Structure 1
Amino acid sequence: MKYNVIHLINDQPAKNGDVYDLSELLNLLNQGWKDGTLSCLSHDMLRPQAWIDTLGIVLDSKSASLYGLRKMPQNTEEIRWLKAKAKKFVYENFYSPPECDVDELQSGLRECLSGNENYLYLGCSCVCDEDIVSKKFPDIAKNCDKSGLIPLNRLSPIGIGVFEFGEYVIFAHEYFRRHLHRLNNINKELLDKLTCLSKNGANIKIALDFSLIGLKKTFFECFEYEHWWGPKFSNDVSNLKEGVCCHSASDEIKKFHKIHKQDFFWYKNNNEYTFETEEISLYKLHHTNFEYGCRYIHSIIDINKNMPIHLDGAIRGYSIDEMLERENTDITHQRRGLIYKKLWRVDGDINLSDWKELICHHYKDNPLAGEYLGPISVSAVNDKIENEDFKDFENAGPNCMISLLTKKKFNNYTDDFNVLVTKNIHIDGEPFSYVEDSFYELNKFFLQHNKKLSFHSDHIVVAFEDNFYDLPLIYHAGSKAIDNANFSLDVLSEFFKSSIGRDEFFSFSLAIEYEEYVLVFSLVGEIKDLYFLLNSNKIKFPNNKNKIDTFIKETYKHISEIKNSILPKIEINILGYISFKRIVLYENIDYFIERINDQDMFIYADPRLGELLGTKINIATEIIKTSCTSCKADYLTCPCLRSTNSSYTITDYNLLGFCAVL
């Protein structure tokens, strides 16, 4: 299985303006740490690609962000595991509406049911039965034209593509959904634009799903946060040429969306231009009476007005043989008599910018239409996106991560204080677990309180000659885990207090067993900031899980009080803690040795390498033996402390390479 830590959502405004506060992020964390959720390719529920468990929340002085752990299968057995998880997930989330809702739907729609109905949850509890809308609301069908479209201004939307009728709701046609399937999300951008134009007086009709009725009181609008943006278009079609033009999809579009190409066709008829465009989708369908469904646009432009006067969007259905033929021809030579379903139409004068935007949104996930129609200054649009939507925010320190993990991720530890060595470094190509020399200074503070830190694996001791220090994870087990973890916070406070004044940065991580899960808490920051947070009991672990949310909110509040503190990049471990992002360069590095006297020397890398990486390069050494400047014993095990003006010299070591904190 391949594991990746991924960013899910934060409390900053989304691209559509929505804001999720910390309370909502905590709800997502509490819901997902145990059961997880399905991750699908291109947000298509029929194409599962991975499983995601929510991992933890990262806090800094500016934002709170929710992260997850993505598990991607790498072999046949793991693929079978994911398929089983996906099948269970789909059944529980889409095919298992509450029984009380099913009873209410059956009671209210009894005379309309065929006996072959299915019950679903699609943003609300629904019943799916052939032509049930016409049976329950016969006037709706009477108001439809010969293409099955109804004026949008006769419907009362309570959500995107959801319309209320008394105590029930009906829906826009299922072909408005991704890959034409009810389990997938609806084309929000297209329907939102159509609704907006309808409210402004445009003559718009849409197709409805006549086989689906929902219970209005259960409706809860869902949102998809895969950002789809339409280029900003001008009111100009003068550069569009008559004839056929074909745009081929990129390898990425072919892989993720199964779109092969798109044809664009202009032809003139008296004082009108007719425009047709169709994408060729190689996505195989299994729930329709055709194998391939391709999105199609037809429009008429009045030459004298230089303005569209008609626009409609539809789906063309192909069999396998028809698609094989269509794939190798252009739009002017395609076979006639295809299965055809019109989804929407706009009649009357249409602003050219709106016209282009509707076409772009009809082809959601497919950038070829926007590419062909010609946005205003593509480079300017991209610059705007880069500068505003994708700004690389400074890492506002200190950073804190609080994660919830199942106990099965850890061994059955029995000691009160367990040191988990999770970092590796390579020596002659072999990985070795290591802890940094700074840990042994902290260990002396625990020993002063007669507390033993227990190691459960072999490790080496490494010194990185910089001012960034990652302390290993300390796991607190047993009935006194919470009390012991709070004791560890007190010891860490003493440790950081003893080092105030030094230009040093630390990360530390504590894991605490609660009844239901393991809470992992980590902090990264300057010594003065870490001491500020740990001093005066600002941060204390609650004695039961019901107070965890309050604990996280209070921690966020305290971190937000720290201003003007900047950290280098951090990285997130799959065990839900944060540390400095450090790289070790093992070979082919030019370096210099400068001797001070017969005993002391400095080793440093070619400074041009640091300039190339944009950071300082320091040496990394394996410590074999040390000597305390005060008692002359091995400093790693003697009781002397830096705070009492003791230090050490390295008397035996292995040069491992050079390191850089990014």
Structure 2
Amino acid sequence: MYKSLAILITDRINKYGHLIAISAMEDMVWMKATEGVPMHLGHDMHRPVGAMIPFGLYFEPKMVRSLGLTLIPQNDEDSKQITDFKKYAHLKSIKNAVDQNDNKLYELVKSNIESEFNYLETGTLSIFNENIVTRIFKELVDFQDKDGLIKLEDLNKNFTYKYQGVFFHNSLPLCIYSNSFFRRSLSRHNNFHFFFLDELMSMQNNKDITIKISLDWDLIGYSPTFLESMEYEYWFGPKYNDDISNIQKGLTKHNCSEFERDYHGISTTEFFWKDNNELKEFELEELRENNAPTMEDFFGCRYMHSIYDTSKETFVHFDGAIRGYDSDLYFERIDQNMTDFGRRSEYTKLFRVDGKLELKNWKSLITNYMQDNPLIYEYFGIAKPKSELDKELDSKSLMQQLVPHSMNKSDGIKLLLSYHNKNDDFENISHSVSIYDVININGEDKSILEDEIIEVKKALSRLGKILNIKDDTLYGIYKDDYWNIPCIFHGKNDPTEDIQITLKALSNIFERMINRGLETIVSFTIAWTIEDKEVRVSCLGHIENLYNWIEKFQVIPVERESLKKWLDNQRTYLNETFEECIDKPLVQDICQFDGVLYIKRKIVGEEFNLELFSDDKGLSYRFSIPVEKEELYDDIINGKIKPVMSYILKKAICSVTKQDYHKSPYSKLLDDNVHMVVEELEGLTFYWSDKQII
């Protein structure tokens, strides 16, 4: 599987005017962090393209973002896994909804069920059974006109439109639905194109028009289970004016680009204007790339017809339908113009508006009725919503390329909360390093940590706690002012106190470092268990900022409800304490899928020809910059970016005890006049940094 980081939502007001609270963002992550959800192309449940694991919330000054791990198949085996996962997730969702409903829906409608039935879940829990609505609400049958449409004023006698295509009964806990052909791919497994339905229903009190609509007679739902869907694929109704003078007369065809065909499943849309004295008639038909997934050999194409009265300067009629074709007829249709082919389709009318409909409202209704069809914008001369795939990516600076973790005190604190599968390995140990770096030596993977973890171990020891580290762990030293402290997991016995002690140990270290005038950027991660999940809180920032943060928040709540309130406090603290600082460093350069904010150094590549030499000043290095790219490397030439040495520590002695430094009770960070003497090392390597330690 191809893996990538995705931004799902933020705590800012989005283009639809929605603002998601931190508690709601946390709910979304909590529910699916260890399960994941299927990903679909264009919100079409019949087009699975991957899986998404919403694993964390990322806090920066002035913004919180929900992060997800996307999994995209790269071969047939991967694709099968995605398809199987899609089926599993779908069946599990329905089963959970049925179990939670405890037969309430079934008991209400069982006397009207004929033969076999199925449960569905699209917005509400519902039962699919042919013509079940006609048996439960017989009065609705008599309200139909010759096209099967019902006036809203008749429908409103016993039902109230909620939104997103659903009508609630006024006294029973039941709901009925708009025709399934209003849904994506004409499928009951998909959401409605509800922008159109909601806009149309918002006009029901307009005395100048009469609205009729078609219903789904085979689906009955349990209204208390209704949940509003949020589809954040931006589709907007432009602010149209009342001018139609620039609309071309006759037949015009607009064709989708290759990407639009693949993404939206549309090949062509035909538009036709004709004059009939004072009346101008407009027709539109959309030609699809694929047949309807839940119907046998059926290409369902959206169709629209309107009449504009030039004497009244308004539309007097507007209706929409689905024109259906079998394969043979459809292949014949796509080779001919709409005006030449005639009316040889299977025709299902979906809605009708008669009366006085303003032109700007007509244009908006068309745009929303044809949701997911970008050719509508093109026809009316409006800029299309631009795909993120069409936008040019900002080029990275040299600093972002070579030192992607570059950070300063003014950049504030970065914080990542993430949820993972429960960790049972260390539940009976108060403090354990649970995530290790890995280095490959002669074809064998070895666990390795940055050597300063020993300072954390010594700080915890002075507070009465033992930090558990694997015996075969290697220790690396980086000669820069960045420090990755690995994830420390806290066992089940007393995580509240144990986490507090860890924070105190870190605070003691940071305070001493500040007093020595150090400017170190540090990452650390705290982990524990809540219910069936492991929680990780990872922090990244300058030692002074982190010290002040720990002094402010000396306790991290270990129960979920208290933790949610704590998260709100984190947002407030970061927003009030620091200036806005978004993506410095870039989120994708420091957020790891395991929930750790990680300083990931870049090795000095072979193209720089770095070599070591000794002189009277000691061990030195020299390197060269590729001549053809010299102008791109100003930050190196000016000394802002330098190679820094790293190595694996083989033997180190305490300056006080003259014994193994790792076993010495003295600390180079916590004590005065103590240092570590490196006697043996291996694996000398150079990385780029903007904070070199001499």
The answer, yes or no, to whether TM exceeds 0.5 is yes
Q: 1:315 aligns with which of 322, 327, 333?
A: 322
- 1:608 shift after superposition: 4.7
Query: Secondary structure, in 3 states, of the residue corresponding to 2:486?
Result: strand
- 1:25 shift after superposition: 2.4
Q: How far apart, CA to CA, are the structure 2 residues paired with 1:609 and 1:349? A: 64
Output one character per residue of 1:144-197: Cα deviation in whole Å (capped at 9) or x when no partner.
222222223443212232223331321111111111111211112101111123
Q: How far apart, CA to CA, are the structure 1 residues paired with 2:381 and 2:547? A: 56
Structure-2 residue corresponding to 1:656: 686
- 1:423 shift after superposition: 4.9
2:187 is the counterpart of 1:172: no
Output one character per residue of 1:468-490: Cα deviation in whole Å (capped at 9) or x when no partner.
43322233456466644432222
Query: Secondary structure, in 3 states, of the residue corresponding to 2:544?
Result: helix
> Quick one: structure 1 residues 612 and 334, their matched pair in 2 at CA, closer, same or farther if it must change by over 3 Å?
farther
Range moving further from structure 2, 340-349 or 71-80: 71-80
2:211 is the counterpart of 1:224: no
Q: How far apart, CA to CA, are the structure 2 residues paired with 1:473 and 1:21? A: 28
Q: 2:469 aligns with which of 454, 471, 477?
A: 454
- 1:545 shift after superposition: 5.5
- 1:526 shift after superposition: 2.1
Structure-2 residue corresponding to 1:568: 585
Q: How far apart, CA to CA, are the structure 1 residues paired with 2:676 and 2:367? A: 67
2:537 is the counterpart of 1:521: yes
Range moving further from structure 2, 579-588 or 502-511: 579-588
The answer to whether the 8 Å contact 2:460/2:501 transfers is no
Output one character per residue of 1:392-425: Cα deviation in whole Å (capped at 9) or x when no partner.
xx997312222221136x8679865443565568
Structure-1 residue corresponding to 2:402: none
Output one character per residue of 1:117-167: Cα deviation in whole Å (capped at 9) or x when no partner.
333333333232222223332332322222222223443212232223331
Q: How far apart, CA to CA, are the structure 2 residues paired with 1:67 and 1:404? A: 11
Structure-1 residue corresponding to 2:518: 502
Q: How far apart, CA to CA, are the structure 2 residues paired with 1:54 and 1:223? A: 16
Q: How far apart, CA to CA, are the structure 2 residues paired with 1:482 and 1:331? A: 71
> Quick one: structure 1 residues 60 and 15, their matched pair in 2 at CA, closer, same or farther if it must change by over 3 Å?
same
2:306 is the counterpart of 1:299: yes
> Quick one: structure 1 residues 142 and 65, their matched pair in 2 at CA, closer, same or farther if it must change by over 3 Å?
same
User: In the alignment, residue 39 of structure 1 is paired with which amino acid?
Assistant: M
> Quick one: structure 1 residues 278 and 424, their matched pair in 2 at CA, closer, same or farther if it must change by over 3 Å?
farther
Q: How far apart, CA to CA, are the structure 2 residues paired with 1:623 and 1:583? A: 14
Range moving further from structure 2, 436-445 or 37-46: 436-445
Q: How far apart, CA to CA, are the structure 2 residues paired with 1:534 and 1:597? A: 45
Q: 1:199 aligns with which of 205, 219, 224?
A: 205
2:154 is the counterpart of 1:163: no
> Quick one: structure 1 residues 190 and 589, their matched pair in 2 at CA, closer, same or farther if it must change by over 3 Å?
farther
Output one character per residue of 1:67-96: Cα deviation in whole Å (capped at 9) or x when no partner.
333333444444333333322322232366
1:61-210 correspondence runs (5 A): 61-94=61-94, 97-98=97-98, 103-154=103-154, 155=156, 156-165=160-169, 166-167=171-172, 168-201=174-207, 202-210=209-217
Structure 2: any 5+ residue segments left out of the alignment? 391-406
The answer to whether the 8 Å contact 2:492/2:528 transfers is no
> Quick one: structure 1 residues 35 and 428, their matched pair in 2 at CA, closer, same or farther if it must change by over 3 Å?
closer
Structure 1: any 5+ residue segments left out of the alignment? 387-393
- 1:222 shift after superposition: 3.0
> Quick one: structure 1 residues 366 and 433, their matched pair in 2 at CA, closer, same or farther if it must change by over 3 Å?
farther
Q: How far apart, CA to CA, are the structure 1 residues paired with 2:522 and 2:655? A: 25
The answer to whether the 8 Å contact 1:569/1:581 transfers is no
1:153-552 correspondence runs (5 A): 153-154=153-154, 155=156, 156-165=160-169, 166-167=171-172, 168-201=174-207, 202-288=209-295, 290-305=297-312, 307-334=314-341, 336-375=343-382, 378=383, 397-407=412-422, 417-419=431-433, 423=437, 435-436=449-450, 438-439=452-453, 441-446=455-460, 451-455=466-470, 459=474, 461-463=476-478, 465=480, 467-477=481-491, 479=493, 483-500=497-514, 501-513=517-529, 516-535=532-551, 538-542=554-558, 547-552=562-567
The structure whose RCO (Cα within 8 Å, separation 6+) is larger is 2
- 1:493 shift after superposition: 1.0
Structure-2 residue corresponding to 1:618: 642
Structure-2 residue corresponding to 1:32: 32
Range moving further from structure 2, 482-491 or 253-262: 482-491
> Quick one: structure 1 residues 191 and 524, their matched pair in 2 at CA, closer, same or farther if it must change by over 3 Å?
same
Q: How far apart, CA to CA, are the structure 2 residues paired with 1:182 and 1:595? A: 74
- 1:596 shift after superposition: 10
Structure-2 residue corresponding to 1:389: none
- 1:108 shift after superposition: 3.9
Output one character per residue of 1:533-559: Cα deviation in whole Å (capped at 9) or x when no partner.
2126533353x5664434444544544
The answer to whether the 8 Å contact 1:421/1:434 transfers is no
> Quick one: structure 1 residues 169 and 581, their matched pair in 2 at CA, closer, same or farther if it must change by over 3 Å?
same
> Quick one: structure 1 residues 50 and 164, their matched pair in 2 at CA, closer, same or farther if it must change by over 3 Å?
same
- 1:374 shift after superposition: 1.3
Q: How far apart, CA to CA, are the structure 2 residues paired with 1:129 and 1:480? A: 54
Q: How far apart, CA to CA, are the structure 2 residues paired with 1:347 and 1:464? A: 77
Output one character per residue of 1:45-83: Cα deviation in whole Å (capped at 9) or x when no partner.
222233333312223343443333333344444433333
> Quick one: structure 1 residues 85 and 131, their matched pair in 2 at CA, closer, same or farther if it must change by over 3 Å?
same
Range moving further from structure 2, 201-210 or 356-365: 201-210
Range moving further from structure 2, 590-599 or 96-105: 590-599
Output one character per residue of 1:9-56: Cα deviation in whole Å (capped at 9) or x when no partner.
333323222332222223223322343333222212222233333312
- 1:594 shift after superposition: 12
> Quick one: structure 1 residues 362 and 435, their matched pair in 2 at CA, closer, same or farther if it must change by over 3 Å?
same
Q: 1:599 aligns with which of 618, 622, 635?
A: 618
The answer to whether the 8 Å contact 1:477/1:512 transfers is yes
User: In the alignment, residue 591 of structure 2 is paired with which amino acid?
Assistant: I
- 1:431 shift after superposition: 9.3
> Quick one: structure 1 residues 495 and 151, their matched pair in 2 at CA, closer, same or farther if it must change by over 3 Å?
same
> Quick one: structure 1 residues 163 and 513, their matched pair in 2 at CA, closer, same or farther if it must change by over 3 Å?
closer
> Quick one: structure 1 residues 645 and 365, their matched pair in 2 at CA, closer, same or farther if it must change by over 3 Å?
farther
User: In the alignment, residue 185 of structure 2 is paired with which amino acid?
Assistant: H
The answer to whether the 8 Å contact 1:298/1:312 transfers is yes
Q: Percent identity?
A: 27
> Quick one: structure 1 residues 654 and 185, their matched pair in 2 at CA, closer, same or farther if it must change by over 3 Å?
same
Q: How far apart, CA to CA, are the structure 2 residues paired with 1:278 and 1:316? A: 8
- 1:525 shift after superposition: 1.7
> Quick one: structure 1 residues 422 and 495, their matched pair in 2 at CA, closer, same or farther if it must change by over 3 Å?
same
Q: How far apart, CA to CA, are the structure 1 residues paired with 2:285 and 2:144? A: 25
User: In the alignment, residue 264 of structure 1 is paired with which amino acid?
Assistant: F
- 1:368 shift after superposition: 1.1
The answer to whether the 8 Å contact 1:62/1:560 transfers is yes
Range moving further from structure 2, 395-404 or 21-30: 395-404
The answer to whether the 8 Å contact 1:587/1:657 transfers is no
> Quick one: structure 1 residues 299 and 583, their matched pair in 2 at CA, closer, same or farther if it must change by over 3 Å?
farther
Query: Secondary structure, in 3 states, of the residue corresponding to 1:199?
Result: coil
Q: How far apart, CA to CA, are the structure 1 residues paired with 2:560 and 2:253? A: 59
> Quick one: structure 1 residues 511 and 322, their matched pair in 2 at CA, closer, same or farther if it must change by over 3 Å?
same
> Quick one: structure 1 residues 429 and 232, their matched pair in 2 at CA, closer, same or farther if it must change by over 3 Å?
farther
